[in-house]
Structure 1
Amino acid sequence: MAINFEVRRADPADAPGMAKVHVDTWRETYRGLMSDSELDDPGLLEWREKFWTAALTDPRYEKNNVAVALHDDKLIGIAMSGPSSDIPEEPQELYVLYAYASSHGSGVGAALLNEVISPAASAVLWVADPNPRAQAFYRKNGFVADGAEKVEDGVKDIRMVRTARQN
């Protein structure tokens, strides 16, 4: 599917739109994996907006890389990486990568991933399981499951890692 889109670094003015993408894509992706009460919580959008405002303005997060994807000046995807939280030898972790289902297969996800983590860099991420589409996307981008699992808020995640590519 071909759509014209732009990927750029996020700025604080993007926080409300990023929160909307985050909540909408959670509802698209995690219905049936997360509880409906959590996904339909009336405070979810406000909570995500506070999260993104902090991620884009608080000096504690200055080592994070945050990007947005736009189509016709409307946000359609978000991504964030930063220092690895649980594997010190992996310098970067992908914390967030969400794009509307309507943009899947367009290259938006890969462009966001490459904006926040160099395609040649080692990295780690956690992905919901089951989430076969996302797991296939990450495998296509060099990540492999390493056997680690965790459960947060009732959702099982598996860890995937990518070793730096040598040129």
Structure 2
Amino acid sequence: MICIRRARPTDAAAIGAVHVATWRTAYAGLLPDDYLAHLSPVRHAAGYEQGIADRRNGHAVFVAVASGPDAPMDRPGEGGAVIGFVSGGRARQGWLAQGEVQGEVETLYLLEDYRDRGVGRRLMRAMAAHLAAVGCRSAMLWVLKDNPTLWFYRHLGGRPAAREMIRFAGQPMEQLAFVWDPIETLLAATAPAPES
């Protein structure tokens, strides 16, 4: 069974491990091997622990937890194992939504073995519902142009709205901003399928 819930401070170590594992698979060949090899789950965990506790600007972190037969074979646990997460809040830059209160999905990471099972969509739904609840009328996210999961945001109805060059791991990279305006378009795209 896989459930989505609000993250707790005790989830920070698992979230840091998921962050590093997903970067090493998703960005292999895009970012330098040396950079990926030196990513630190402990350092990322410390940042996420702070992020879980800090709820200013509507910030929230949600986790996907697998238990029972869905739990990873290498990490069985009574409470389940964190296999993915999403974080976000009110947008750090509000220029993409003309004067509207805008939400931003800051991170969305899911272990490779759990992709194509609807878990990413469920995480996006949890964040979209949260952003709507804190008064955001639209949502956006930044994603590297060469990220292999770019199709996912298009599939959910994200509209490319901006692009910018950034320096990351010592090299120039292009990132794209996807927007859901109004936020109800993201809520509709991530709604559970009706049962027959």
TM-score (norm 1): 0.87
Aligned CA-pair RMSD: 2.1
Q: What CA deviation, in whole Å up to 9, does each residue of 1:90-135 have, x standing for no partner?
A: 5100000000111111010011111112297521100111124x22
Q: What CA deviation, in whole Å up to 9, does each residue of 1:141-160 have, x standing for no partner?
A: 12111132232313321111
Q: Contact conserved, 1:90 with 1:124, CA < 8 A, in 2?
A: no
Q: Which residue of 2 aligns with 1:112?
A: 123
Count of residue correspondences: 161
Deviation at 1:62, TM superposition (A): 6.0
Q: Which residue of 1 aligns with 2:145?
A: 129
Instruction: Please list, as runs of the form range in 1=range in 2, the aligned pairs for 1:42-61 lying within 5 A after superposition.
Output: 44-58=40-54, 61=56
Q: Percent identity?
A: 29
Q: Whose radius of gyration is greater, 1 or 2?
A: 2
More divergent stretch after superposition (16-25 vs 89-98): 89-98
For residue 155 of structure 2, the aligned residue among 133, 140, 146 is: 140
> Would you identify which runs of 4 or more consecutive aligned residues in structure 1 move more than 4 Å?
none
Q: Which residue of 1 aligns with 2:180?
A: 162
Deviation at 1:56, TM superposition (A): 1.3
More divergent stretch after superposition (91-100 vs 136-145): 136-145
Measured in 2, the distance between the counterparts of 1:58 and 1:85 equals 15
More divergent stretch after superposition (43-52 vs 105-114): 43-52
Unaligned runs of 5+ in 2: 68-79, 189-196
Deviation at 1:30, TM superposition (A): 0.7
More divergent stretch after superposition (83-92 vs 47-56): 83-92
Q: Which residue of 2 aligns with 1:36?
A: 33
Change (3 A) 1:90 1:162: farther
For residue 69 of structure 1, the aligned residue among 64, 72, 85 is: 64
Q: Which residue of 2 aligns with 1:99?
A: 110
Change (3 A) 1:11 1:124: same
Instruction: Please list, as runs of the form range in 1=range in 2, the aligned pairs for 1:16-31 lying within 5 A after superposition.
Output: 16-31=13-28
Residue 117 of structure 1 aligns to a residue whose secondary structure is helix
Q: Contact conserved, 1:81 with 1:117, CA < 8 A, in 2?
A: no
Measured in 1, the distance between the counterparts of 2:112 and 2:155 equals 18
Q: Which residue of 2 aligns with 1:151?
A: 166
Q: Which residue of 1 aligns with 2:2?
A: 5
Measured in 1, the distance between the counterparts of 2:31 and 2:19 equals 14
Q: What CA deviation, in whole Å up to 9, does each residue of 1:57-82 have, x standing for no partner?
A: 246x4621210001111111010011
Measured in 2, the distance between the counterparts of 1:152 and 1:10 equals 30
Measured in 1, the distance between the counterparts of 2:57 and 2:15 equals 18
Unaligned runs of 5+ in 1: none
Q: Contact conserved, 2:52 with 2:60, CA < 8 A, in 1?
A: no
